[in-house]
Amino acid sequence: MTKTMRLTASALALSAAFTGAALAQAHVFTAKDMASLDRLSDPRVSPDGAWVLYDLRTVDFLANKSAHDLWVADAKGKTPPRKLAASAGGIGSARWSADGKTIYFISGRAGGVDQVFRTDLAGEAAVQVTSMPFDVGAYKVAPNGKVIVVSQAVFPDCPDLGCTQARLDAGKAQKNSGVVHDRLFVRHWDTWADGTQNHLYAVTLDDKGVASGAPVALMAGFDGDTPTKPFGGDEDFTITPDSKTVVFSAKVAGQDESWTTNFDLWSAALDGSTKLQNLTAANKAWDAAPVFSADGKWAAYRAMKRPGFEADRFGIILRDQATGQERELAADWDRSADAIAFSPDGKTIYAQAGDVGQVKIFAIDIKTSKVTPLTGEGHVIAFEVAPKGLIYTADSLKGPAQLFSLPAKGGKPTQLTTIAADALKGVAWGEPEQFSFKGWNDETVHGFVIKPANFDPARKYPVAFLIHGGPQGSFNNSWSYRWNPQIYANAGYAVVMVDFHGSTGYGQGFTDAISQHWGDRPLEDLQKGWAFATSQYSFLDADRACALGASYGGYMINWIAGNWNQPWKCLVNHDGVFDARGMGYSTEELWFDEWEHGGTFFDKPEAYEQFNPVNHVKAWTKPMLVVHGGKDYRIPLAQGLGAFTALQRQGIESKFLYFPDENHWVLKPQNSVQWHTEVLGWLNKYTAPKKAQ
């Protein structure tokens, strides 16, 4: 018989325990490996299409921090990428000037306040462009190169930047610590409100390309944020091709900010000569990400139709700038556009969208609305339009993000980078396979199975059953630095993931199906998906399986614990909803909970109780690891503590892993490794083979 090894928390020992021997000469991909990988992001192609800037994040694991450098790649892939020396002072958000001669970027190298700097293609020296009093959060340079628009966090009722500075200084001098709030969003994501909002300012650049003169407040008195919080960036605003106007997406805060999704597009003259104008007042749902054709004849933006629903389909709206007439492009295309851009000739709009477990780039003909996919399997993260094609970053279940170039009409892409190639050399990847089955309402549901690394078809393997969050989301054929199935595959597990009803990329009706049905339709999909996978893949050991999930996935773990705990040896609940009523009264973005339950917690209390895990804790029997972040304001800490209390009070084997410095995600490298050590140790404890008699 196979010798049983001593159980440890390390991925290597776990892997050995499941295989009976160390993985043969293969590099076992561990959580530390993943947390230490270099990461590519934010590709930006030069106006002539010859070069691509990108951000490369590197990690100092021992110091538990990361750094960002600016690299430039040859868009034809003929010469290797190179790092710009200007990166040495810290760098981010690199952008090209319209003539391609200047590279702008943000850095805190001068006094620790983030400002805009510039360099050239050689990238040897850096010149400071802006001298704003506060961190520049996002920026854009006008096409004529004479004006730069920057964001500043200011008090919206202040007439100038000096007023905000004086008020901040006065706050620091106070000896008392109490803060008074008179409306919601007292905290958002992982930050408490301090009264400031992100506003845009226009600054003139002199002949030397340096900011001069007083900044022009473009949002004076506006009660709202651009960029939007917490994840907005320069995609939230754009400058018209004639360099005269900024158009931005923002929501008027008011008393209802936490329960409305009514973002509108607003315009303002860069010279401050006109008042703000609401361009989309008629639509009470979400309007976002304005873009313009190069000749200025067309504007386009993404728009939802249903107020209050954050996961509604983003359609593409075209506006004729001469007449003001609007129409939806490809209105029958049942996909939601994540990002859009015009082709150089203005005849095509490129869109990024999820599609049956993949995320692709599509070309949409403006005249005919014909939709053509340009990429295939994998997960496109971001793309840029070049004069004769596209530049994009993409990853997959078998590897992190790389940079690619693609002809304008599609075809075979050219890979331009090999990020982390040395670190990943010799890794035995778990092979992914997409499958489908009949789920709720006899509708087709898709999922993925990932074989263990160094797979032996003659063996059975324990299973990690991963449940995604959102719930309007998808695991996709994509790489993750938080829930990466390859970590489990390299630890000796097979992985099963089901894109249940509510998942994105399968049509808006499929996504809509989960609202007000958190506990029945998706549970039926998960049950049928598990039954299908275990019947079709003989290497899955259904008697040695644990279920894991975060956010909505964590909610589902709590729901499974009381409604479908039979198949599982153990459970892992990360930042999951435990009590729907408590969640409704303490989360920050109320529009989410109110849409998902069909109303407010006081008007529809029965809806919050219908699929409430707290009502089923008497049926809990399976060991559960509960994980929660102290700065998680989306699903507050009491939800995790409540689940752990329910487990402990009933004598059910359980642990509580608490990260006081993490939010809804675990982001710090060493915390990530600790998370994986605890999770894999928990799974191994309950799924390891029985010892020989």
Residue positions annotated with a catalytic role: 551, 632, 664
| 556, two tokens | 């589902």
Residue 438, CA atoms < 13 Å, CB-side half-sphere: 2
Helices (H), 359-504: 485-490
| 527, two tokens | 């049950």
CB 622 within 8 A of CB 652: yes
Q: How far is CA 639 from the centre of its chain?
A: 23
Residue whose tokens read 């510039």: 118
d(CA 196, CA 207): 33
316 CB-contact burial (10 Å; exposed 0-12 / middle 13-18 / buried 19+): buried
d(CA 361, CA 393): 11
d(CA 663, CA 656): 16
- Give how far Cα 160 sits from Cα of 45, 157, 167, Å: 36, 9, 11
d(CA 629, CA 190): 10
Helices (H), 130-250: 161-173
What are the backbone dihedrals phi and psi of residue 234, each rounded to the nearest 5 degrees, phi first? -75, -5
- Give how far Cα 166 sits from Cα of 113, 171, 196, 404, 534, Å: 17, 9, 13, 48, 65
Vertex 409, ends 408 and 414: CA angle to 5°? 65
| 498, two tokens | 């089901």
Residue 520 DSSP symbol = T
Helix (H) or strand (E) holding 100: none
Q: Which of 272, 325, 261, 273 shows the shortest CA–CA distance to 299?
A: 325
Q: Which of 496, 546, 502 shows the shortest CA–CA distance to 520?
A: 502
DSSP secondary structure letters along 254-323? STTGGG----EEEEEETTS-S--EES-TT--S-EEEEEE-TTSSEEEEEE-SSTT-TTS--EEEEEETTT
d(CA 167, CA 170): 5
Helix (H) or strand (E) holding 448: strand 444-450
Neighbours of 602 (CB within 10 A): 9
- Give how far Cα 365 sits from Cα of 318, 383, 589, 640, Å: 12, 18, 36, 48
Residue 490 DSSP symbol = H
d(CA 618, CA 620): 6
| Three-state secondary-structure class, residue 142 | coil
Neighbours of 228 (CB within 10 A): 18
d(CA 453, CA 26): 9
